[in-house]
Chains A and B, each alone.
Chain A
Amino acid sequence: MNPDDLDTKFRNELKSKTEVPEKFYKDLDKTLSKIKEERKMKKSNKWITSIAAICILALLSGTGYAAITGKLKIFNNNKIDEQYDNYAEIVEDKFVENDYSKITLKEIACDDSYLILSYIVDVKEPGLCLLDDIQDDELLGFDFCLISDVMVNGKLCNSYSLNKQTAHKISNNQIEVYCLISLMGQELSDEFDVSIENFEWRSSNVSVNYHVEHSSKTIINDAISLKVSKSDAMANSTSFVPENSIYKYNDVTLIVEKIYKTPFESFVMVELQEANYSSDRFSENREDAYSWINLMILDENNNEISANLNPYGYVVLENGEYLESDGEIVDFTRSHPSTEFENATAVTKMIITFEEGLDNTKAITIKPYYETFLDNGAFEKEYFDSLTWYPVQEGTYSAENESGGKLEISQVEISEDKILFYYTKSGSVAYLDGKIYIRNKTRAFNYFLPDITNIIDENGNHICGFNLKDNGSYCLSSLEEGDTDDDYLTYKYSKDAFLENIEELEFAIGLGDEAHQEILGEGLLVELQ
């Protein structure tokens, strides 16, 4: 066998032997949430009187919280939390158990978007996995994970980005777990088979070694099977193909396949095609400008809606064959084709969900755009220099981009150890853009991103902020005082050094580098009602 054949044979065998199990994605999610929770916990400990109080107030003014109403929030998703009780059905006598724990499926709810499974986990051995050491955090839920394979009509439902889970502690040996399983795009009949297999529970509060040692107690190799009906929810669901469903702009074709409005979620199934696609677009090592297609969703008032795009795609080669996927929908951002090709068509399927739902929206415009990324540090400096920088003082401030997107600051709250900004966003402001930055004007080029984010007060204001004395945050800065602006690199700086003197600080509102977005025409207007 020549070396090339040997390489190919070995490479193929190696890859084929390494299927990624679903629970790996769940474990990875737990690790990533630990990063986020670490920040949130730190925040709530430090500012019990301000931020935490605001958040709790926001929760209390919403659908109600356990301490007041006895009903837990499930996913911090208003629509699901409000509608769950209307569609949840009690399940009787469905459980799995071993000598150490029992997992009971107590309720199930379903529509075209989600299957929601509600469990009670009873731990029979006191202290197993140290559950009594874990506190149920009102904002974050409980650090507990129930792993299982959920099969619908025999097919594993493993939508990595859309499935979610929350847990709450009832007592030191009883935990309530809600699992949200995405059914979006499956086109199921009103009644279907569900089988839940390979149960394992764990708390990420203890070490992996502890889990390994106790895995025989926390793994239950048994299954729960049942028939599920979504007919109750279907009476309050609509789905339709819009009259105006295809939009073309040069090489790009956008097709809205179907729109769903169900009790738990509103979502849009979209196909995005890009012709004249080549293997060069996959290259990680290009040194010139990158560009890719993204979607912007606007409501009938031309305000951008926060939407989550869940893309999966494939590439159709010039000869009609599928690139290394046999026509299966794959996430081709994860694949690296070994063959070179030109004149192919990249097809991306997307399930678009909306943070605020679509119930109060009459029409949406889906606008594709090329986003260009210049891998060039000078561009970044140029961008930040172009922003308007204000002294850190109380007052109202606003900024508007060329597309009419606006960020308005209604209040600046300054204290010894933090600066908080209360603001609203409107118009076309991209999902991850629209940020407030802070810098020390006495230093060479530098800026900080807010380290307090994702907070909304009871009036709907977004809140972001900056801890001023928190070592370990990031800033972009020149190496040292004497460096030129061109020498800057990202460094982990002590904020104490940069942000100690409020008189030296200034802030700016950034609405994204819209100069590097090429909007592809007017987009597709879709009527929803």
Chain B
Amino acid sequence: MEENITKYVKRAKKGDKDAFSYIVKQNADNLYRVAYGILNNYDDVSDAVSSTVLKAYENIYKLKSEQFFKTWITRILINECNMIIRNSKKLVYIDDYQELSSTDSNIETNIDVNDCIRSLDDKTREVTILYYLNDLSVKDISHILSIPEGTVKSRLATSRERIRIFFERKEELL
């Protein structure tokens, strides 16, 4: 039934609002997970997804390849999330995170996979989410972000290093 999406994306591009609603709803879980992975706060997630949906509606006519709707709207969402983070300065870099965790016992006991995502810089986070949450290949990510595959791989290597630290710290705490 996945193929249906492409058909409805075509219709949405031509102004069919029901079709647009349909394809957004089909991607609802994905949108939530991506936004939550970055923002970890329901109200911010709701805000980001709402802005994303309105922007997607305004710009869907620009989408050239219907089969990339999901990745296209994910890209818009990531930009919205990054903007919210920058505006609210909620970003916690890994160095700060490690510093905090050495002094704050609550953080030590509440180590969370989403903290790991939020500790990455914008560009690495974008690639990490597309790879781990959207299950996209390196090739597809390269295509979506218009960056070389080598750059995708190097950002994934950076994020794997953080992931390794995350699991090591988690095991230490157990």
Distance to closest chain A CB from B141 (angstroms): 13
Contact of B43 with A211 in the complex, beta carbons under 8 Å: yes
Set of chain B residues within 8 Å of A334, measured between Cβ atoms: 26-30
Set of chain B residues within 8 Å of A209, measured between Cβ atoms: 47
Q: Which of A15, A32, A292 contacts B21 (CB 8 A)?
A: A32
Set of chain A residues within 8 Å of B26, measured between Cβ atoms: 333-334
Chain A at the B interface: SS class: mixed
Q: Does A227 contact B (CB under 8 A)?
A: no
Candidate in A3, A18, A27, A491 with the most chain B CB atoms within 10 angstroms: A18
Distance to closest chain A CB from B44 (angstroms): 8
Set of chain A residues within 8 Å of B16, measured between Cβ atoms: 432, 449
Set of chain B residues within 8 Å of A313, measured between Cβ atoms: 1
Q: Does B151 contact A (CB under 8 A)?
A: no
Contact of B132 with A14 in the complex, beta carbons under 8 Å: yes
How many contacts between A and B, using CB within 8 angstroms? 158
Contact of B3 with A215 in the complex, beta carbons under 8 Å: no
Contact of A215 with B114 in the complex, beta carbons under 8 Å: no
Candidate in A3, A31, A283, A291 with the most chain B CB atoms within 10 angstroms: A31
Contact of B29 with A20 in the complex, beta carbons under 8 Å: yes
Set of chain A residues within 8 Å of B114, measured between Cβ atoms: 14, 17-18
Set of chain A residues within 8 Å of B18, measured between Cβ atoms: 432
Contact of B32 with A20 in the complex, beta carbons under 8 Å: yes
Contact of A311 with B25 in the complex, beta carbons under 8 Å: no
Which one of A4-12, A59-67, A83-91, A521-529 is at the B interface?
Answer: A4-12
Q: Which of B20, B21, B61, B67 contacts A490 (CB 8 A)?
A: B61
Set of chain B residues within 8 Å of A34, measured between Cβ atoms: 54
Contact of B5 with A333 in the complex, beta carbons under 8 Å: yes
Distance to closest chain A CB from B131 (angstroms): 8
Contact of B3 with A35 in the complex, beta carbons under 8 Å: no
Q: Does B75 contact A (CB under 8 A)?
A: no
Residue of B nearest to A20 (CB): B32
With A18-B36, A290-B7, A373-B7 as given contacts, are A31 and B70 in contact (CB-CB < 8 Å)?
no
Which one of B90-98, B99-107, B119-127, B160-168 is at the A interface?
Answer: B160-168
Contact of B112 with A17 in the complex, beta carbons under 8 Å: yes
Contact of A333 with B4 in the complex, beta carbons under 8 Å: yes
Q: Does A473 contact B (CB under 8 A)?
A: yes
Contact of B6 with A476 in the complex, beta carbons under 8 Å: no
Set of chain B residues within 8 Å of A160, measured between Cβ atoms: 25, 28
Q: Which of B2, B24, B27, B61 contacts A492 (CB 8 A)?
A: B61
Q: For window 27-48 of chain A, which residues contact chain B by CB distance below 8 Å?
A: 27-28, 31-32, 34-36, 39
**Contact residues of A with B, CB < 8 Å?**
1, 3, 6-7, 9-11, 13-15, 17-18, 20-21, 23-25, 27-28, 31-32, 34-36, 39, 160-161, 208-209, 211-212, 215, 281-286, 290-292, 311, 313, 332-334, 336, 338, 346, 348, 371, 373, 375, 432, 448-449, 451, 473-476, 489-492
Q: Which of B1, B24, B117 contacts A333 (CB 8 A)?
A: B1
Chosen A-B contacts, 5 in total, with CB atoms closer than 8 Å, are: A14-B113, A282-B2, A292-B1, A373-B6, A432-B16
Set of chain B residues within 8 Å of A285, measured between Cβ atoms: 67, 140
Contact of A20 with B28 in the complex, beta carbons under 8 Å: yes
Set of chain A residues within 8 Å of B1, measured between Cβ atoms: 292, 311, 313, 332-333, 346, 348
Set of chain B residues within 8 Å of A6, measured between Cβ atoms: 160, 163-164, 167
Q: Which of B13, B28, B54 contacts A35 (CB 8 A)?
A: B54
Q: Does B150 contact A (CB under 8 A)?
A: no
The tally of residues in B whose CB lies under 8 Å from a CB in A reads: 59
**Contact residues of B with A, CB < 8 Å?**
1-7, 10-11, 13-21, 24-33, 36-37, 42-43, 45-47, 49-50, 53-54, 57, 61, 64, 66-68, 70, 112-114, 117, 132-133, 135, 140, 160, 163-164, 166-167
Set of chain A residues within 8 Å of B33, measured between Cβ atoms: 15, 18, 20
Query: For the complex, what is the distance from the CA of A449 to the CA of B13, rounded to whole Å?
Result: 11
Query: For the complex, what is the distance from the CA of A24 to the CA of B32, rounded to whole Å?
Result: 8
With A24-B32, A208-B47 as given contacts, are A10 and B132 in contact (CB-CB < 8 Å)?
yes
Contact of A27 with B46 in the complex, beta carbons under 8 Å: yes
Contact of A490 with B7 in the complex, beta carbons under 8 Å: no
Give the 9 A-B CB pairs with smallest separation, nearest first: A290-B3, A474-B15, A208-B47, A18-B33, A333-B1, A31-B50, A20-B32, A32-B21, A212-B43
Contact of B66 with A375 in the complex, beta carbons under 8 Å: yes
Query: For the complex, what is the distance from the CA of A215 to the CA of B47, rounded to whole Å?
Result: 14
Set of chain B residues within 8 Å of A32, measured between Cβ atoms: 20-21, 24-25, 53
Contact of A375 with B15 in the complex, beta carbons under 8 Å: no
Query: For the complex, what is the distance from the CA of A476 to the CA of B36, rounded to whole Å?
Result: 36
Set of chain A residues within 8 Å of B36, measured between Cβ atoms: 18
Query: For the complex, what is the distance from the CA of A39 to the CA of B20, rounded to whole Å?
Result: 14
Candidate in A24, A290, A476 with the most chain B CB atoms within 10 angstroms: A24
Contact of A13 with B113 in the complex, beta carbons under 8 Å: yes
Contact of B113 with A24 in the complex, beta carbons under 8 Å: no
Distance to closest chain B CB from A10 (angstroms): 5
